Amino acid sequence: MNIALITGGLSSEREVALSSGRGILKALRELGHKVKVIDPVFGGREVEEEVIFRDMVSKDYPTLEKLKSLQGENARKLLECINSSLFDDIDIAFLGLHGKFGEDGIIQTLLELRGVKYTGSGIRSSAFAMDKDISKTVFQAEGILTPEWIALNRQDEYNIREFLRIFGKPLVVKPNDEGSTVGLTIASDEKELEKGINNAFAYSEKVLVEKYVKGREITVAVVDGRSYPVIEIKPKDGFYDYEHKYTKGRTEYICPADVQRRSAPRLAIWSSRDDPRHR
């Protein structure tokens, strides 16, 4: 097959996407496919693979300055890229992108408009899954446990003390539509909470303030309706942040995880009456 591997991209997870892209490229070529590597930051230009893959994953996610430089004028290059001749005679696009413009339904929409088949989830499921507020609302409606939360828009007025009163401490603050724990803070007091909210708003127009739930980190991969072995994720210290995810040796992965099946506790229902913005 003639495959376009789309990797890199414009998000704060660019370096992570390039790391995934290296592994995907190796696997596809070992399977005998003809692969063209495409990075949207270069628009419709064809660029050597060595240039695309020169960014390596570091222990810290890109600074806001670097992110702004990626997403400034370069945002239009995503459209230029998909509309270019790079996708002529391509059988399918393999999405090796992470974060915004890659997992949120945007590139999926552009590829469908161009008539290019692609791997992974479709437009609607991508958009829903990347939006934490929408995802948690769906979970709650379906009776799936999720920590209590409040979603803040940039223009909202709010009372930080009320968050601590309602949810206790610590609290989790995160951008609504980022991955890899980019912009996430675990806040233990008013000062940390205010700083965390401001930091999260630097990455998103909507921020989640969420009740902290202490527990084990468990993950299960599901591909084409098939579930794979349960994995427990145990960071060596702190919590499973960007550094622990992408720095070798900072996290232990136990597979299969030592878990026992048991009935779930009752779902805690969150009422909008408890929203500090209504007080």
The DSSP-derived string for 177-220 is T--TTTT-EEE-SHHHHHHHHHHHHTT-SEEEEEE-----EEE-
Nearest to 175 by CA among 271, 99, 273, 96: 99
Number of domains in the chain: 3
Q: Which residue has the higher pLDDT, 65 or 160?
A: 160
Give the pLDDT confidence of 191-203 residue by residue, as tens digits: 999 999 999 998 8
Per-residue pLDDT at 11: 86
Q: Which residue has the higher pLDDT, 244 or 70?
A: 244
Q: Which residue has the higher pLDDT, 65 or 171?
A: 171
In a domain, 210, yes or no: yes
Give the pLDDT confidence of 210-244 residue by residue, as tens digits: 999 998 999 999 888 899 999 999 998 888 877 88
Per-residue pLDDT at 111: 97
The arithmetic mean of pLDDT across residues 233-260, rounded, is 86
Q: Which residue has the higher pLDDT, 276 or 85?
A: 85
Whether residue 233 sits in one domain with residue 185: no
Is pLDDT at 70 greater than 70 in this prediction?
Answer: no
Whether residue 193 sits in one domain with residue 146: yes
- Asked whether 6 and 36 are in contact (CB, 8 A), the reply is no
Whether residue 74 sits in one domain with residue 34: yes
Q: Compute the distance between CA of residue 15 and CA of residue 23 in angstroms, rounded to an integer.
A: 13
Q: Compute the distance between CA of residue 164 and CA of residue 171 in angstroms, rounded to an integer.
A: 8
Q: Give the dihedral sign, CA 155/65/50/179.
A: negative
Residue 18 tokens read as 């390039």
* DSSP reduced 3-state for 151: strand
Query: How many alpha carbons lie under 13 Å from residue 55 in its C-beta half-sphere?
Result: 22
Is pLDDT at 186 greater than 60 in this prediction?
Answer: yes
Is pLDDT at 131 greater than 70 in this prediction?
Answer: yes
pLDDT interval class at 246 (50, 70, 90): confident
Per-residue pLDDT at 66: 61
Whether residue 199 sits in one domain with residue 95: no
pLDDT interval class at 273 (50, 70, 90): very low
AA letter at 161 = R
In a domain, 51, yes or no: yes
Per-residue pLDDT at 10: 85
Q: Compute the distance between CA of residue 144 and CA of residue 8 in angstroms, rounded to an integer.
A: 34
* Percentage above 90 pLDDT, the chain: 62
Residues constituting the chain: 279
Whether residue 34 sits in one domain with residue 94: yes
Helices (H) then strands (E): counts for the chain: 10, 12
Give the pLDDT confidence of 17-40 residue by residue, as tens digits: 998 999 999 999 999 999 999 999
Per-residue pLDDT at 25: 97
Residue 56 tokens read as 């390596």
In a domain, 278, yes or no: no
- Asked whether 65 and 89 are in contact (CB, 8 A), the reply is no
Per-residue pLDDT at 32: 97
CB environment 55-76: b (16+ within 10 A), e (fewer)? eebeeebbeeeebeebbeebee
Whether residue 24 sits in one domain with residue 87: yes
In a domain, 161, yes or no: yes
Per-residue pLDDT at 268: 42
**Mean model confidence pLDDT for the chain:** 86
Per-residue pLDDT at 275: 44
Per-residue pLDDT at 73: 57
In a domain, 266, yes or no: no
Structural domain including 222 reads 217-254
Per-residue pLDDT at 147: 94
Angle at 271 between CA 241 and CA 148, to 5 degrees: 15
161 alpha-carbon distance from chain centroid: 29
Is pLDDT at 106 greater than 90 in this prediction?
Answer: yes
Whether residue 243 sits in one domain with residue 174: no
Per-residue pLDDT at 276: 42
